[in-house]
Chain A
């Protein structure tokens, strides 16, 4: 049976070619492409078939799925229905039970090397914590990963370990990159990631037939190239030295920088400040809440949300560097004073000898 192209799929659903072109233009913009590259998107969608996607959930909260279905450009209906065929998803598939498991088997068998595996949630290293129907999470994952064209790690849990891996990490949770080494993995961190980023990554793979360009940590450059702090609408106040000191002071009302109420923007890479959330309406900092660094590795262990701290290397513990530093200097000064006194006493004794 010949599979339909994405264009055919769209036309079949009663959309016009004009609708199709609009969708492609929106997609190109989402992917951060130049307007002139829209042609490439159109050509790809005319020629390529829908890509089968398997979406597995492990130690997660379904927040990433929730974010995904709120995609506005392109609308998630169009992604789901036209560009990809979501063959297996615990949250979104209509089918359930043996029926849906059969669909999974079908993809693994018939589309090896073609399907994309999307993973939400981290995996425990101890199987006792996540075994479904007698099959461990690790086994389910590795089986699906084997024939995948590419793996997308959606969210901070699958990318870095996320909440399950936060101290004390009872399940010894690890990111999926810990379990699979021989497959290309695209990390799309965020708690959750921005919907348009999630769809943008898939759109890129379909359009260009290859993975988007990744940065040194394995995230798509198009979406994780910029630091929140460098694109922040409050940055001018940071440079000026004007800070909100609490959430209800004059500074907060004036829209001053949120650094002193714990903003993690200076150490966070994500598209929030450019793409914003909910179809570009706003993002946390714009709405007056400091960035909590949700797309960064180990963000749950990077200190309380509304305080800036420093992490003790190779641990999951943070301290206030100024408090600890001042105490350490105080102890040192006391030691120096004591040493000086003993020295002076001994020197005096020496003169008496």
Chain B
């Protein structure tokens, strides 16, 4: 038994490709290998601010929902501000998270071919399906991807795309709901109607989707290590340095659509 990655199939090129103008930069190492600049600096900065903020939001968020420690000075309220700080940190990091995500959206248009994704193409879903078969150890036609594979892209769409939007809208609603007359309050009033109408439903959404993020993180970190272990192409270091080591014909071939 072996991992079903047929070298012949690996030669086949993915259909999920992008404009030539947005091609990632390559540095030739030798006749066979190239260093591909996959993740540009803004993507890497985004990645680590995003990972950091999600972890902080999760810890402070769960504390807000279920305070697992109490203030140590069991006296008058005056001496402590534990929940207050948890909430302030949650809100501050929430703003960071939002700005960070906005920059990343801008980079979808500005960045290289690996900074974007198009789920509106048939090949995206076909190749995502092949990738699922690959991860289930089934016979498959998965291609080799230099950037994210379509399944990874799909997980980013669901969690970082949709999940973040749900967290931001419900979060800002919860933040501003006590001031419905303020401009911010008015901006987010409609959110309630989308998420069940009442404050409790909105809060429930916020709390449940938060756990979705934890599950994503577990799977995602595992996948990153696994990819690195199997491909030995520097997936792990790529998210720090930006570079992956790839076979030349794959790195260049992705764009040879004759």
Please give the residue numbers on chain A whose beta carbons come within 8 Å of chain B beta carbons, in ascending order. Answer: 215-217, 225-227, 229-230, 236-243, 245, 250-251, 254, 259-260, 264, 266-269, 293, 296-299, 302, 308-314, 318, 321-322, 324-325, 328-329, 332-333, 336, 339-340, 342-343, 346-347, 349-350, 353
Residue B13 is within 8 A (CB to CB) of chain A in the complex:
no
The 6 closest A-B pairs by CB, nearest first: A241-B82, A325-B211, A236-B77, A241-B71, A240-B77, A310-B204
Q: Are A310 and B70 in contact (CB under 8 A)?
A: no
Docked pose: A215 CA to B15 CA in angstroms: 52
In the bound complex, how far is the Cα of B199 from the Cα of A109, in angstroms? Answer: 42
How far, in Å, is A249 (CB) from chain B's closest CB? Answer: 11
In the assembled complex, 8 residue pairs joining A and B whose CB atoms fall closer than 8 Å, in A order, are A225-B181, A236-B78, A241-B71, A241-B86, A321-B207, A328-B215, A343-B229, A347-B230
Complex alpha-carbon distance, A314 and B204, angstroms:
11
Distance between Cα atoms of A265 and B21 in the complex (Å): 55
Given contacts A242-B74, A243-B70, A343-B226, contact A216 B192 (CB under 8 A): yes
Residue of A nearest to B135 (CB): A339
B207, A267: Cβ atoms closer than 8 Å: no
Q: Which of B74, B77, B83, B135 contacts A250 (CB 8 A)?
A: B74
Where chain A touches its partner, the secondary structure class is: helix
Given A333-B218, A343-B230, are A267 and B198 neighbors across the interface (CB < 8 Å)?
yes
Contact B83 A239 (CB under 8 A): yes
Rounded to whole Å, the gap between the CB of A222 and the closest CB of chain B is: 12
B137 at the binding interface (Cβ < 8 Å)? yes
Asked if B67 and A240 make an inter-chain contact with CB atoms under 8 angstroms apart, the answer reads: no
Residues of B participating in the A interface, judged by any CB pair closer than 8 Å? 1-3, 62, 65-67, 69-71, 74, 77-84, 86-87, 135, 137, 177-178, 180-181, 189, 192-193, 195-201, 203-205, 207-208, 210-211, 214-215, 218-219, 222, 226, 229-230
Known contacts A240-B81, A322-B62, A350-B2, A313 near B201 by CB under 8 Å: yes
Closest to B62 in A: A322
Q: Is the CB of A240 within 8 A of B84?
A: yes
Asked if B198 and A241 make an inter-chain contact with CB atoms under 8 angstroms apart, the answer reads no
**Contact pick for B80, options A240, A269, A298, CB 8 Å:** A240
Q: A230-B178, A241-B70 are in contact. Are A328 and B200 (CB under 8 A)?
A: no
Which residues on the B side are within 8 Å of A332 (C-beta)? 215, 218-219
From B80, B210, B215, A242 is in contact (CB under 8 Å) with B80
Residues of A within 8 Å of B181, CB to CB, are 225
Apart from A216-B193, A239-B87, what are 8 other A-B pairs with CB-CB below 8 Å? A241-B86, A242-B71, A243-B70, A296-B199, A310-B208, A321-B208, A329-B215, A343-B3
Contact residues in B for A268 (Cβ distance below 8 Å): 199
A234's nearest neighbour on chain B, judged by CB, is B77
User: Does the CB pair A353–B2 fall under 8 Å?
Assistant: yes
Contact between chains at B211 and A328 (CB < 8 Å): yes
Distance from B147 Cβ to chain A, minimum over Cβ atoms (Å):
22
Residues of A within 8 A of B230 (CB): 343, 347
The answer on a CB contact under 8 Å between A240 and B195 is no
A311 → B minimal CB distance (Å): 4
Within 8 Å by CB of B67, from A226, A243, A346, A353, lies A243
Query: Once bound together, how far apart are the Cα atoms of A163 and B145, in whole Å?
Result: 56
Chain A residues in 8 Å Cβ range of B218: 329, 332-333, 336
- What chain A residues lie within 8 Å of B84 (beta carbons)? 239-241
A250 closest partner in B (C-beta): B74
What residues of chain A lie closer than 8 Å to B66, measured between beta carbons?
Answer: 260, 308, 322
Q: Are A336 and B219 within 8 A (Cβ)?
A: yes
Q: Which residues of A contact B65 (CB under 8 A)?
A: 308, 321-322
Given A216-B189, A336-B218, A336-B219, CB of A311 within 8 Å of CB of B204 = yes
Partner of B137, one of A293, A302, A346: A346
Pairwise interchain contact A240-B2, C-beta atoms closer than 8 A:
no
A153 vs chain B, min Cβ distance (A) = 15
Q: Compute how far the CA of A302 lies from the CA of B71 in the bound complex, rounded to whole angstroms.
A: 28
**Across the interface, do B201 and A240 meet the contact criterion of CB distance under 8 Å?**
no
Distance (whole angstroms) from the CB of A350 to the closest CB of chain B: 4
* C-alpha gap A309/B87 in the complex (Å): 19
- C-alpha gap A321/B180 in the complex (Å): 28
Partner of A321, one of B83, B137, B211: B211
CA distance A325 to B84 in the complex (A): 25
Cβ-closest chain A residue relative to B215: A332
Check if B214 sits within 8 Å of A325, measured CB to CB. yes
Chain A nearest CB from B68 CB (Å) reads 9
CB of A335 to closest CB in B, whole Å:
8
Evaluate contact between A297 and B198: CB separation under 8 angstroms: yes
Contacts of B196 in A (CB 8 A): 311, 313-314
Residues of B within 8 A of A241 (CB): 67, 69-71, 80-84, 86
In-complex Cβ contact of A313 among B137, B205, B222 (8 A): B205
